[in-house]
Chain A
Amino acid sequence: MPELYLRLLDRIMTPILLLFALVLLFRGHNQPGGGFIAGLIVAAAFQLQILSRGDATVRHNLGPYLQPIIGIGLLIATLSAVLGVFGGGFFTGLWWELKLGPVKLDLSTPMSFDIGVFLVVFGVVTSYLVGLSRED
């Protein structure tokens, strides 16, 4: 059963890939990364799942959420752009600095916009992967 190796790989790689995607997503503004790349990596992680566990499992677990994820991603991106109206115009970036003890977080509308991009790319690519890998 060649799938056995893939399952092992899936066990190890999928969590790493998902974490890696998050890291890329959040550091994207200053270092290589960003929503688009992170979305593709998450899609790749789920592709690994499809190959190792079959498309039915993934479709069952993830299928119903994919279209809502695309919609929510678009909504977040649009809202981030609209929020800019309060800072001087459509798409003007707004920045807040959040201090949690020693940790300093930069919150911003470009950041949330990137999260929206991430969700759309992840949703779109994964829904194609799930759809095309259907074993009928």
Chain B
Amino acid sequence: MLLLCLLLLFIASPIAWLLRPHRTTKAGWFAALPPLAIFVWLLTQLSAIQNGQELIESYAWADALNLILRLRLDGLALFFGLIISGIGAAVALYTAHYLEKDEHQGFFYALLYAFMASMLGLVWSDNLMTLFVFWEGTSITSYLMVGYKHKSDAAQEGARQALIVTGSGGLAMLAGFIILAQAAGTYTISELLTQQNLIDLPIFPVALILILIGAFTKSAQFPFQFWLPGAMSAPTPASAYLHSATMVKAGIYLLARLHPAFSHSALWFWMLLTVGGITMLLGAISALRYYDLKKILAYATISQLGILVFLLAFEGEAAYGAVVVGILAHALYKGPLFMLAGIIEHATGTRDIRRLAGFWRTMPWTFVVALLSILSMAGIPPLFGFLAKETLLEALFHYAEHGGEYGSGGILGWILVGAAAVTGAFFVGYSFTLLYETFLRPKAEDEENSAQIHHAPSIGFVFAPLALAIIGTLIPFGIGPLGDTLLSAAATSIAGEEVKLYLKLWHGFNSVLITSLLAIAAGLLIFFLRNPIRKIWAIAPEALDGVRIYNRVYYGSYDLARWSTRHVQGGSLAAQASIVLMCAVAMLLFALTRINWATDLAIDWSVIPHFHELVIAILAIVAAVVTVQSKSRLNAIISIGVVGVTVTLFFVYFSAPDLALTQLLIETLTVVLLVLVFHKVPEDNNPPLPAITQTRNLVVSASVGLLGFMLVLISAGEPFEPRISEFFTLNSVPAAHGANIVNVILVDFRGIDTLAEITVLAIAALGGYALLRSVRLRKISDIEPVWDRDEIDNA
């Protein structure tokens, strides 16, 4: 059934494309159906999961390689699945309005479904390799979605940045997975988590850091946070879905998933604490720096992600409760807020808050959404965000008072409480700024350019964010039952043992509430001081931005490539070929020092070659000599063809018809190609080569000849492993129904190799196609990048 859900989305993906949904906005309601169906099905599984039953599906993919598609639905997977499918349905509805009459809308839907399926697969997989494949699936689909407006430079740059950062993080994570799984002996996540001695493995710190790099890049943690604001050039539905509710939570999910096995490690605690803490403060403070609605929201998201990473450092019910409440509350207020930014952009054509003012009158429904979700973001009681902040502070107070496994609470604990309170204050500050400047103030700061509303949003447009905001508002009043069921089940998975959460909206008048209220008061102060703060930000250096390092590495790699191309592959073709060939010869010379001349070269001198063998060999030698000696190119090409044909004769003689046939064909085509190419090269009227070049050519040719000769000689002296050819001979007809062993090996026994080879061929053909089409051949040093470096640095 889990697989069926994924297939449903993967199949819906091309169908949505083909249906060309941009013809009517009503298509949005239908587009919301597949995710909604999954959402409803997941709800029906809730009671079973709550009773501790898990749904496990396993499909052998390539058993021999241990590649298994294994899906598992437990509390955490169900919790994330509900968020992904629920918000997904809302986004699908919203997209139809946001991309109204855009003829590429169908493509966006195709990407959206493919992303949704990858994301669901990610949270449901119970095998590290399966998880990695879906993880990369989300990276690729999100790259395509961010680059949706592919003609805009900002979209291209943002998409590339996001892909490179999350993609390289993913590769680091893969390395970590492999190290971990090889050491632990299993790729199955649920088995891995039950191994108690995992963190005592000597290799564990390496694996942990690699996996953390994957999680931190995906979840935009310091110092990788810069890609998220860059990705804001994505269409707003993608930002609302990927960059707030789902994809950036993939890193959080991974940390939560691995929490039971990893959380006892000191390295885990300190890494998550510092990275999460820095990200949370940095994101919250940076949000006030920007005037672009979506950029402000992006920094707010970074901060929230930092809070979640920070919380996952701890153990204990309070922390688990804070994590699950934080994830759900954030999805339910940040999703609508991004959609809101899209609605405002759609209605006015701008997202610059300096040009916005007083929209509460002209867009009343939008204002309701804004009010509910912004107040929730600020953590004003009795909204959901308030509950998230309460649980966060409670977890930290608990740590400060009672200590944890690492650090005994105390001063460290109170510093953390203070950091969380400062973050909360800034949350309040930018929330109120957003609300006031966009909706309430009478006139815009930039009054001359103040935005006009082209058309008020239709009710269908506002419906999705409104529904999410209302659900988010109602949840705190039903938090008791919800906490008992869904959230407890999710917390149980994070803890790795039975956890019962007791969540209440009202905790009485305690120190947590007082801290909360103090933070709100401080936030109001920040709100009133917002313009001085912005002035300070305006003169602050951008050095904190990781994007500088990214650009260094990015452009540096191009510089390195240019440098190495110029120095290693510059000069004449003959010089280049000499470098490559001599490297191979050097390796052989090294190998020759290692062999035992007496035993390894088992040459039987007593065998006298047959007459025709001698003839063929002499023919090949004569043809080779003629090739080198001939003055005209045509002669050389023909005689080199003769060399090839004599090799074919060898194959025929030793009864290898397939090889002979292939060799003959390749030889024929090569000769024809050479004639075609050399036909275009102008006549060689150059003076004879200088002596030094001639000597070099001679040395290179002689050593390469020696290389081939020695290779054949040594490999012939090596005794054959009889079992391999015996296996093929025995199994070819009964197991593979084919009498031609060569062909059976190619298409059956070693089919994967062949598949890889034809893939390489196809890619080579694409490269060749591009090369042969380029009209003008330029010197490498003339090829300069088309972008302006300073421009991107300053962007």
User: Which chain A residues border B738 with CB–CB below 8 Å?
Assistant: 29-30, 110
Contact A32 B751 (CB under 8 A): no
Name the contact of B772 in the complex, choosing from A41, A91, A131 (C-beta under 8 A). Answer: A131
Contact, CB under 8 Å: A41 / B672: no
State how many angstroms separate the Cβ of A85 from the closest Cβ of chain B. Answer: 7
The one of B62, B657, B772 in contact with A32, judged by C-beta atoms closer than 8 angstroms, is B657
Q: Shortest Cβ distance from A122 into chain B, in angstroms?
A: 11
**A63-75 interface code vs B (CB 8 A; 1 in, 0 out):** 0000100110110
Alpha-carbon separation in the docked complex, A36 to B753 (Å): 14
A121 to B754, CA, bound (A): 11
Q: Which residues of A contact B754 (CB under 8 A)?
A: 77, 113, 117
Q: Which applies to chain A's interface (DSSP): helix, strand, loop or mixed?
A: helix
B661→A32 contact, CB < 8 A: yes
Q: Is the CB of B758 within 8 A of A121?
A: yes
B743 touches A89 (CB 8 A): no
Decide yes or no: A34 and B742 within 8 Å by CB, A47-B669, A85-B61, A93-B736 being known contacts. yes
Q: Please, what's the 1-or-0 string for A103-135, where 1 marks a CB less than 8 Å from any CB in chain B?
A: 000101011011011001101110111011110
A41 near B665 with CB under 8 A, answer yes
Binds A, one of B357-365, B522-530, B760-768: B760-768
A106 to chain B, nearest CB (A): 7
Cα separation A124 to B758 with both chains bound (whole Å) = 9
B665's nearest neighbour on chain A, judged by CB, is A40
Chain B residue, CB-CB nearest to A131: B772
A31-69: CB near B (< 8 Å → 1, else 0) gives 111111100110110010001000000000000000100
Cβ-closest chain B residue relative to A124: B765
Q: Does B769 contact A (CB under 8 A)?
A: yes
Contact B762 A124, beta carbon cutoff 8 Å = yes
Roughly how many angstroms separate A95 CA and B759 CA in the complex, as a whole number? 25
Whether B62 lies near A74 (C-beta < 8 A) is no
For the complex, what is the distance from the CA of A91 to the CA of B736, rounded to whole Å?
A: 12
Chain B residues within an 8 Å CB radius of A14: none
Q: Which of A28, A34, A43, A70 contacts B669 (CB 8 A)?
A: A43
* B38 CB to nearest chain A CB (Å): 23
Q: Are A127 and B62 in contact (CB under 8 A)?
A: no
A interface residue count range (under 10 / 10 to 19 / 20 to 34 / 35 or more): 35 or more
A123 and B672 contact, CB distance less than 8 A: no
Cβ of B752 within 8 Å of any chain A Cβ, yes or no, is yes
In the docked arrangement, what's the CA distance between A117 and B760, Å? 12
B645-697 contacts to A, CB under 8 A, are: 657-658, 661-662, 665-666, 668-669, 672-673, 676-677
- Chain B nearest Cβ from A84, distance in angstroms: 9
A81 contacts the other chain (Cβ, under 8 Å)?
A: yes
Closest to B67 in A: A90
Which of B60, B747, B761, B772 is the one whose CB lies under 8 Å from A88? B60
Distance from A62 Cβ to chain B, minimum over Cβ atoms (Å): 14
Q: Is the CB of A89 within 8 A of B758?
A: no
Is the pair B60, A29 in contact by a Cβ cutoff of 8 Å? no
- Distance between Cα atoms of A106 and B742 in the complex (Å): 19
Pair A114/B747 contact, Cβ less than 8 Å: yes
Chain A nearest CB: distance from B539 CB in Å?
54
Q: Provide the bound-state CA to CA distance between A37 and B744, in Å.
A: 14
A42 to B64 Cα, complex, angstroms: 36
| Cβ contacts under 8 Å, A34 to chain B | 658, 740, 742-743, 746-747
Would you call B737 and A106 a contact (CB within 8 A)? Answer: yes
Q: Which of A29, A44, A67 contacts B740 (CB 8 A)?
A: A29
B755 in the interface, Cβ–Cβ < 8 Å?
A: yes
- Near A by CB (< 8 A), chain B positions 34-51 give none
Contact of B758 (CB < 8 Å), options: A28, A30, A117, A127: A117
Whether B747 and A113, one on each chain, are in contact in the complex, defined by CB atoms closer than 8 angstroms, is: yes
Is B765 touching A127 in the complex (CB atoms < 8 A)? Answer: yes
- A67–B768 CA distance with the chains assembled, in angstroms: 12
Contact B60 A89 (CB under 8 A): yes
Residue among A29, A70, A111, A121 having the largest count of chain B Cβ atoms under 10 Å: A29
B-side contacts of A35, CB under 8 Å = 746-747
Q: Is B63 an interface residue (CB 8 A)?
A: yes
Pick the contact of A110: B657, B662, B747, B773 (CB < 8 A).
B747
Contact status A91-B758, CB under 8 Å:
no
Contact of B676 (CB < 8 Å), options: A40, A117, A123, A133 = A133
CB under 8 Å from chain A, chain B span 54-74: 59-64, 67
CA distance A25 to B61 in the complex (A): 29
Contact B765 A128 (CB under 8 A): yes
Most buried by B among A32, A71, A74, A114: A32
Known: A33-B743, A37-B665. 10 other contacts (CB 8 A): A30-B739, A40-B662, A51-B672, A85-B60, A85-B61, A90-B62, A123-B762, A127-B768, A128-B768, A131-B772
* Listed A/B pairs (25) with beta-carbon separation below 8 Å: A29-B743, A31-B740, A32-B657, A32-B742, A37-B665, A41-B665, A47-B672, A51-B672, A67-B765, A70-B765, A77-B754, A81-B755, A85-B59, A88-B60, A89-B62, A89-B63, A90-B61, A91-B748, A110-B736, A128-B768, A131-B769, A131-B772, A132-B673, A132-B676, A133-B676
